[in-house]
Homo-oligomer: A and B are copies of this chain.
Amino acid sequence: MAKITAIIDIGSNSIRLVIYEKSSRFAFNLIHESKHRVRIAKGAYNHGGELQVDAIERALLVLQEFKTIAQSFNARKILAFATSAVRDAPNRSTFINRVKQQLKINIKILDGEKEAFYGALAAKNLLYPLQNCNTVDIGGGSCEIATISAFKHAGAFSYNLGTVRLKELFIDKEQYKEANVFIANTIATKTLPKQDVLVGIGGTFRALSKVLMREQKYPLKLLHAYSTSAQRMVELCKKVEQSDQKVLKQMGIKKERLDVILPGAMILRQILEKSEAKQIVCSGVGVREGYYLYDMLRFQQLRFPSNFNVSVRYLLDTFHYKQTHHNAIAQCAKKLYTTLCQVHNQSVDYEKEIVIAAKLCDVGLSISCFNTHNIGAQIVKSALRYQLTHEQIILISTLIQYQKRKRPNAQAINAIEKFLPKLNHLTLLSLSLAIAKILHNYPLKKQLHSYDITAQNITFNRQDLGAI
Q: How far is the CA of A18 from the CA of B84 in the complex (A)?
A: 59
Q: How far is the CA of A441 from the CA of B51 in the complex (A)?
A: 28
- List of B residues within 8 angstroms of A34 by Cβ: 441-442
A150 contacts chain B at the CB level, 8 A cutoff: no
Asked if A73 contacts B366 (CB within 8 A), the reply is no
Q: How far is the CA of A31 from the CA of B362 in the complex (A)?
A: 10
Asked if A375 contacts B369 (CB within 8 A), the reply is no
- List of B residues within 8 angstroms of A32 by Cβ: 365, 369
Q: Per-position contact with B for A432-454: 1 when CB-CB < 8 Å, else 0?
A: 00000000011111100000000
- List of B residues within 8 angstroms of A61 by Cβ: 444, 446
A378 contacts chain B at the CB level, 8 A cutoff: yes
Q: Per-position contact with B for A73-105: 1 when CB-CB < 8 Å, else 0?
A: 110000000000000000000000000000000
> Which of chain B's residues has its CB closest to A30's CB?
B369
What are 22 A-B contacts with C-beta separation under 8 Å? A21-B366, A29-B366, A31-B365, A31-B366, A31-B369, A33-B370, A61-B444, A61-B446, A62-B444, A65-B442, A65-B443, A65-B444, A65-B445, A68-B443, A68-B444, A72-B325, A73-B321, A74-B322, A318-B366, A366-B383, A368-B383, A375-B378
Partner of A382, one of B33, B73, B375: B375
> Which of chain B's residues has its CB closest to A29's CB?
B366
> Which of chain B's residues has its CB closest to A68's CB?
B443
- List of B residues within 8 angstroms of A221 by Cβ: 371
Q: Closest Cβ of chain B: how far from A19's Cβ, in Å? A: 8
Nearest 8 Cβ contacts at the A-B interface: A65-B444, A368-B382, A367-B383, A375-B382, A367-B382, A371-B382, A68-B443, A367-B379
Asked if B366 contacts A375 (CB within 8 A), the reply is no
A64 contacts chain B at the CB level, 8 A cutoff: yes
A69 contacts chain B at the CB level, 8 A cutoff: yes
- List of B residues within 8 angstroms of A441 by Cβ: 34, 69
Q: Closest Cβ of chain B: how far from A26's Cβ, in Å? A: 17
- List of B residues within 8 angstroms of A382 by Cβ: 364, 367-368, 371, 374-375
- List of B residues within 8 angstroms of A33 by Cβ: 369-370
Q: Closest Cβ of chain B: how far from A41's Cβ, in Å? A: 20
Q: How far is the CA of A378 from the CA of B322 in the complex (A)?
A: 24
- List of B residues within 8 angstroms of A69 by Cβ: 441-443
Q: Closest Cβ of chain B: how far from A314's Cβ, in Å? A: 8
Q: How far is the CA of A21 from the CA of B378 in the complex (A)?
A: 22
Q: Per-position contact with B for A371-401: 1 when CB-CB < 8 Å, else 0?
A: 1001100110011000000000000000000
Asked if B31 contacts A321 (CB within 8 A), the reply is yes
- List of B residues within 8 angstroms of A446 by Cβ: 61
Q: Closest Cβ of chain B: how far from A358's Cβ, in Å? A: 15
> Which of chain B's residues has its CB closest to A325's CB?
B72
Asked if A322 contacts B72 (CB within 8 A), the reply is yes
Most chain B CB neighbours (cut-off 10 Å) among A365, A375, A444:
A444
Beta-carbon contacts under 8 Å, A29-82 to B: 29-34, 61-62, 64-65, 68-69, 72-74
- List of B residues within 8 angstroms of A321 by Cβ: 31, 73
Q: How far is the CA of A382 from the CA of B369 in the complex (A)?
A: 9
- List of B residues within 8 angstroms of A322 by Cβ: 72-74
Q: Closest Cβ of chain B: how far from A434's Cβ, in Å? A: 16
